Structure 1
Amino acid sequence: MEIKMPRKTPRVADLVMQELEAMMLDGQLKAGEKLPPERALAERFQVSRPSIREAIQKLVAKGLVDSRQGGGNYICQNMSASFSDPLHALLEGHPEARQDLLEYRTTIEGACAWYAALRADEHDLTRLAECFTALRLAHEKDDRQDEAGADVQFHLAIAEASHNVVFYQMMKGLCAVLERSLLLNISGLYQRQDTRSRIFEQHKAIYEAICAAKPEAAKLASEQHLGFVGISLIEMQREQNRLARALLP
């Protein structure tokens, strides 16, 4: 005879912890951001303040929240550091690895753009508009560092608009790597005005396709953009190699 064990009822603190983790995953709570006060969280989740306190303690134990004496509770800044740090050294020492990064981005970001065009809500479209405006202004000012940062935020906003927490978290983890990679790439690619202008127009095509809710067009525009960057980088490397050989005694 099978003996059925009674089902264990989840603790309130565990349920609150799971809700807070979900908010971190989908970007409602961002790295470095201060958690709302216990009272506000208790009202939001309709639970007691001791349950909120216990949930936060569990998040601290998991390394997701940093509790500062007298200063409140903050989402940890370094949640993605272990993922991105090894890639910094790889990209710095091996320029060919940048092509591997672009292959990865082409696959993932094409899907992000497709889902963003399908699922973006009013908040997402507002965020995308802000990011595209920042990208356009940096492009017009010819500020390469600002343009690299705005480029990363634009692509991250697309991942967020996909409403896929895995895509978003993977892109967020790559942000520091992407910005460094873009700075390395832009310094060479943007020497030619025609290349620089084409890259901006490609970003514009992705943005407009998402705003128009055209998934296939958004995916295609994203893939074409990253494909163009990949080909341009190969050509740039060949030119650098030719110049290096010409300077040999």
Structure 2
Amino acid sequence: MKQSASAAFDRVGNEGIAHTIAHQIEEMIVTGALREGTRLPPERELAASMGVSRPKVREALKQLEDDGLIHIRHGEGTFVADLIGAAMSPALVSLYSKHQTAFRDYLEFRREQESFAAALAAERATAEDKETIREAIATLEATQSSIDRAASMEADVHFHQAIVDASHNSLMVHTMRSIYALMRSHVFYNRDFLRSIDGTGEALLDQHRAIAEAVLEGKPEAAADAAAEHIEYVAESFAVHALRRRREIVAQRRRQLLGLN
């Protein structure tokens, strides 16, 4: 049975009620439980779930809005503000598409961060986190042979975010969420190419399974190694692709020049 979003909020005491309400919502934003763009439950539901009056909820929400943490859109609801923004400007993303050294730096950063996150997740993942990871793997498996590129990409991003979320490191949760947004661009994500390496993409799926299995079994070292090996595979695959593409261009130009003579 699906629970109401308001069930995630705790009841509060009588002292400094508005401040306590605001602090609870702040904590949920910091930890990543409430994400940018998330719609909060209506005042009525929040008041009921926390055991407080609607005026106190309204006061707390006004405080959060003044602090720039939420947006209150009359007639639409209350939403968490975009607090992270883009990791890079469109101009910088364009530069990454032209310079392979920059792209390697991006993968190097991901390797170190995701390896650390996987190790933390293996130590800290709760039962809820583990269920989310199992669901993420199931979705990856379901989209493995899908022709829906968007669904396949989202499944990949969701899996990696689930691992990072399970690390329970709030700074990493927010930082990597911004980094994963870059995977939605063709510069930082080309699942079609990666799947073409072994003909099926089964290698990628096996790597994701290895990360999940180590996290679910509470093996930090194995989780870190599996995450690092996955990114190294991606980096090596793109390097091979770049060399292959360069040879093809040289061969085409050579043939064109010979044809002129």
- TM-score normalised by length of structure 2: 0.82
Query: Which residues of structure 2 form unaligned runs of 5+?
Result: 1-14
User: Does 99-108 or 32-41 show the bigger shift?
Assistant: 32-41
2:87–2:178: 8 Å Cα contact kept in structure 1? Answer: yes
Question: 1:41–1:145: structure 2 CA closer, same or farther, 3 Å change rule?
Answer: closer
Within 2, Cα distance between the matches of 1:99 and 1:191?
A: 20
User: Which among 81, 87, 90 is matched to residue 83 of structure 1?
Assistant: 87
In the superposition, relative to structure 1, how do residues 111 and 118 fare at CA in structure 2: closer, same or farther (>3 Å)?
Answer: same
Q: Which residue in 1 is equivalent to 2:177?
A: 172
Cα-Cα RMSD: 2.4
Asked if 1 retains the 8 angstrom alpha-carbon contact of 2:182 and 2:188, the reply is no
Amino acid in the other structure paired with 2:135:
E
Share of identical aligned residues, percent?
Answer: 33
| Segment drifting more, 183-192 vs 29-38 | 183-192
Q: Distance in 2 between matches of 1:169 and 1:181?
A: 22
- Secondary structure of the corresponding residue to residue 108 of structure 2: helix
Give the direction of change, closer, same or farther, for the CA distance of 1:20–1:210 in structure 2 (3 Å limit).
same
SS at match of 2:40: coil
Inter-CA distance 44–176: structure 2 relative to 1 (3 Å threshold)? same
The residue number in structure 2 matching 1:202 is 207
Hey, what's the Cα distance between the residues in 2 that align with 1:174 and 1:212?
A: 27
Which whole-Å CA distance do the structure 2 matches of 1:90 and 1:60 have between them?
36
State the distance in 1 between where 2:111 and 2:58 align: 42
Say if 2:219 is the partner of 1:214: yes
Determine the C-alpha separation between the residues in 1 that align with 2:249 and 2:148. Answer: 28
C-alpha displacement at 1:246, in angstroms?
A: 1.3
**1:26 Cα shift?**
1.9
* Closer/same/farther in 2, CA of residues 173 and 106 from structure 1, 3 Å limit: same
Q: Aligned letter for 1:81?
A: G
SS of equivalent to 2:143: helix
Matched, 1:140 2:145: yes
SS state of the match for residue 115, structure 1? helix
Instruction: Choose the corresponding residue for 2:123, options 118, 122, 134.
Output: 118
Aligned pairs, how many?
A: 239
CA drift of 1:236 comes to 0.7
Query: Residues 112, 211 of structure 1: CA spacing in aligned structure 2 closer, same or farther, 3 A cutoff?
Result: same
Whether the 8 Å contact between 1:156 and 1:172 is mirrored in structure 2 is yes
